[in-house]
């Protein structure tokens, strides 16, 4: 091992305004130093910064919860920390891929099938049935179907 590699393994910080050195899990990482621009950020940049601040706050709070910490830790690999996974989870919300209402005819017992996904976990799916006049007919939580991987809603009204 050379003197240079020993220095980099033990050093953290700025080297001559050219490179930034830090280590993570025993590996040295060399990057360009951050340069602060004097231009005022655009509206979209401000929105992204605010969204990232919310994501960071979510991650810090989520990792205080032992259950969420265990879940994020179990999925962390390849250098991704539970914190990074929590931030990513916040920034990529769950989405509904498909709603199959062909089994719903307006009677109790009719089924609506929802396909929803997330990069981490879909906690719950809620269906609202609204009349053409905008009146709420029924609202309820779907049940996860272990066989199909979909979320099933059964009408009661």
3-state secondary structure of 69: helix
According to the model, what pLDDT value does residue 129 have?
Answer: 94
pTM: 0.66
Residue 53: per-residue pLDDT = 97
> Which residues of the chain are under the pLDDT cut of 50?
1-3
User: Bridge partners of 115?
Assistant: 98
Distance of alpha carbon 24 from alpha carbon 111, whole angstroms: 50
Cβ(94)–Cβ(114) under 8 Å? no
Per-residue pLDDT at 7:
56
Say which residues have a Cβ less than 8 Å from residue 11's Cβ, sequence separation at least 6.
21
Domain boundaries, the chain: 1-36, 43-91, 95-154
Would you state the pLDDT for residue 9? Answer: 59
Amino acid 21: pLDDT? 80
Tokens 């099933």 locate to 152
Burial class (CB in 10 A: 0-12, 13-18, 19+), 62: buried
Buried b (16+ CB within 10 A) or exposed e, 99-125: beeeebeeeeebebbbebeeebeeeeb
pLDDT score, position 65? 96
């Amino acid at each position: 091992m050379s003197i240079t590699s020993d220095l980099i393994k033990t050093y953290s910080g700025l080297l001559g305004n050219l490179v930034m050195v830090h280590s993570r899990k025993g590996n040295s990482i060399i990057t360009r130093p951050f340069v602060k621009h004097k231009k005022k950020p655009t509206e979209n940049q401000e929105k992204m910064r605010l969204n990232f601040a919310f994501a960071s706050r979510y991650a810090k709070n989520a990792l205080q919860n032992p259950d969420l910490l265990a879940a994020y830790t179990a999925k962390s690999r390849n250098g991704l920390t539970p914190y990074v996974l929590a931030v990513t989870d916040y920034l990529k919300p769950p989405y509904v891929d498909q709603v199959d209402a062909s089994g719903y005819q307006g009677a109790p017992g009719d089924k609506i099938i929802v396909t929803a996904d997330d990069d981490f976990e879909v906690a719950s799916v809620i269906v609202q049935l609204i009349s053409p006049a905008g009146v709420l007919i029924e609202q309820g939580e779907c049940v996860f179907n272990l066989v199909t991987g979909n979320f099933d809603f059964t009408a009661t009204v």
